[in-house]
Amino acid sequence: MARSGLPPAARRRARRSFNLFSVFNTFSYFLLTGNILTLFLLRIGTSSTFIGLVASLPYISFFFMLVGRRLVGRLGVVRLFGTAWTLRYLMMLPLVFSTVAITAGNVPLAYAMVLVSVLGFQITRGVGLVANSPLLGELSAGRDRGGFLARFQMITAVTSIVAGLSVAGLLGGDPPVSRYSLLMAAGVSLGLFGSWLITRLPEPSGVSEGAAEGILGAARNALAEPNFRRLIASFAVLAALSGAARTFLVVYARQVYLQPDSTTMLFTVIGSSGWVVMGFVARHVIDRLGAKPMLITYSCIYLFSLVPAIVSPAFSGTTLLLHLGLVFFLATMGYTGGEYCAQTYFFSLISPKDRLNLGIVFFMTLGVGGSIGSLLGGVILDALAGIGIESVTARFRLLFGLLAAVALLCIRLMIRLERLGATSTLSALSAMLSLRDMRTITLLNRLDRTTTIAGQQRVIQEIAGSSSQLALSDILPMLKSPSFAVRNEALEALVHLPVDKRVTAAVLQEIREHEFTTAYIAARVAGTKGISEARPILRAALRSPDYLLVAKSMVALARLGDSQAIPEIERQLERSENPLVVIHAATALKLLGSTGSIPALIDALHKPDLPHYAADEIILALAALLQIEQWFYPLYSAFLNDPEEAIEQLEDFQNECSSRAVTRAAAARPADGRERSAVAAMIDGDPDALSGAAEALYELERRTGNTAFAAIEELLEDAVIHDNPALRFFVAAAIVRIGCRLEAQD
């Protein structure tokens, strides 16, 4: 995505000025064109063809962008924009005074004044519109491009709603044509003030470079790219659909359901609320999901809006209001959303130097498509009446059915567009319907606005709980934060998020480059998330001076099932005096199920300064390798808390086992001549009991073929056993549990 030539502070100021201009410009535009102009023409009795002709003129303005392009090199973008916009509002003065001709009974003159005003308005608009793409491209630069453009759409939509409500109130009852004249005069005044605000905008960058290339060369090069051709083709069809809907939804409400002007204007306000909803949703998600899936989604909404219009049931009262409100709401949401997403996709596709020339191509496409849509809509309606279809409802049903067929073609063209980094359409739809993903998007947007370390930590913690794929694009950049706390939190979040190639690359880089800081967290992530590509780096990390990295790497390799690491893990177990490393080594060998490492674990118990908590971990690892951990763990926990109670539990287990089996396996239990008290005697360190335990271990080795029992038997001859009741309890428990298992098998 191209960077803006403006510093961030200047871009923020320019955005505020542009948004203020948009308020006045939109209010003025609403009072001079669109639905109010259509209602005015209906009031003075014009035909559908004349309405379609006037409605097509705004799209013709795009062809006059070529004139503006020739002037932009001489005047500059901002000066050209302001001058053209001032002239376009002055051009509407004949329209304001056309009511005088109507009052005088000179209807043809009034028609001519309307046509001249609208044509002059659109010609000067086209000359100034050449500034739109360079300015919007400059102001929207950055990773929040979609959000800024959506905010601009929302401002325009809300202003349209306010203007619509105002106009609906002023057109209540049976307003005279002079009231239309006053509203249009107000539109001219507001437009002139908005034109002055344009002069406060900065000159965009890259315009002179684009002007030097020439529009034909730029267009030829762009159209040589298949994806640009697909965009222009689909956008042209979308523009035609938009032009037809903008013009004839109002006519549909007036002629099919005989709605008065004020009520019809209220429906346009409802339509504008659909525009607002579109902007809100798009601002929220488009920078996360991408322009293409949103473009297809809004086009589908437009298609869906045509279904009730095609049916056009004979509603009345509240049901009719709901019907028309739904059609206006969905249709406006659909075509405004489609145009906005197409523009966002367009800016993402082109380079800054092409904004001037290709912006003209883009808007001319809008002009051609919109002109065809509005003009053909009127021609089709009049033609249907001319061939004998007297029912107005039937004529509109056929028109909307044709629009639905064209909308299907448009969606088919859009599906072939490249994603440009966006998610798939189905994934985007799934995300918008998922409360979890929408909450994640909300948190990601909050993360973008958060500038403090503590704030970023809190938001990242919340994002981690979502487990959403959408979070990765924003969490991974946090790994480059200058704050250790933020990097640490971002790595912790990866434990809860899905893994892809980006995550794998980031984790490997962290392990390789961030020794003594966050590398150990990355090693843990690699093991927890099953990143097998990390095995070579994790093996190398076992020789690191960073003991945390060594510890976490051992466990990670164990989780990855890397048996090649066993010798090095045993070496760490043998040589390290760090309890944390010893604990993790024991855990790693347990996870690997390395029964061959039992002697190494037993040897580790001989360390003279081994803390009891490290010894506990080794004992639990031994229990796991002997496959008695689940049974032994609660018993051992009880022993550390209350030895006498735990010994009684072990004796009870032995007695219960003996009552179910023959005593021929008695040799596989500690014996000191006092049956059923051997456990307590051995744990107390009685030499005879320890001797009996050695015999039992020998018998277990003979019967199972497991040499681990020989290693444990040697342990009984070592001095360490005499100073360690917990270790003696483990040996006794192992003999009892495994001996009972053998008895059950017999």
Mean of pLDDT over the chain: 85
Q: Is 492 helix (H, G, I), strand (E, B) or coil?
A: helix
245 and 303 in contact (C-beta within 8 Å)?
A: no
Residue bearing the bigger pLDDT, 109 or 551: 551
pLDDT digits (tens, 9 = 90+) for 617-648: 999 999 999 999 999 999 999 999 998 898 88
Q: What is the pLDDT of residues 89-138, one digit of tens each?
A: 999 888 888 888 877 778 788 888 888 898 999 899 888 888 877 887 77
What is the number of alpha carbons within 13 Å of residue 620 lying toward its C-beta?
21
Confidence of residue 228 (pLDDT cuts 50, 70, 90): very high
Task: Provide the 3-class DSSP secondary structure of residue 244.
Answer: helix
Q: Compute CA distances 131 → 75, 138, 203, 246, 284, whole Å.
A: 11, 11, 10, 24, 27
Q: Where are the domains of the chain?
A: 8-431, 632-745
Residue 661 scores a pLDDT above 60: no
pLDDT tens per residue, range 531-543: 999 999 999 999 9
Structural contact between residues 487 and 453, judged by C-beta atoms closer than 8 angstroms: no
Least Cα distance to 121 among 152, 96, 156 occurs for 96
Q: What is the DSSP string of 621-687?
A: HHHHHTT-HHHHHHHHHHHHH-HHHHHHHHHHHHHHHHHHS-GGGGGGS--SSSTT-HHHHHHTT-H
Highest mean pLDDT pick, 204-208, 316-320, 513-517, 664-668: 513-517
Mean pLDDT of all residues in 51-68: 77
Write the burial class of residue 15 (CB in 10 Å: 0-12 exposed, 13-18 middle, 19+ buried): middle
- pLDDT band, residue 213 (cuts 50/70/90): low
Please, are residues 353 and 318 in contact by the beta-carbon 8 Å criterion? no
Average pLDDT over residues 58-63: 74
Q: Can you give the pLDDT at residue 443? A: 87
Say yes or no: domain 8-431 is CATH 1.10.10.10.
no
In angstroms, the CA 455 to CA 319 distance is: 49
CB contact at 8 A, 560 and 534? yes
In this prediction, residue 674 has a pLDDT band, given cuts at 50, 70 and 90, of very low
Alpha carbons 305 and 300: distance in angstroms, whole number: 9
**Residue type for 618, please?**
I
Which of the 8 DSSP states describes residue 723?
T
Express each pLDDT in 230-281 by its tens digit: 999 999 999 999 988 888 888 888 888 888 877 887 888 888 888 888 888 8
Q: Other C-beta atoms within 10 Å of 21: how many? A: 22
What's CA 458's distance to the chain center, in Å? Answer: 19
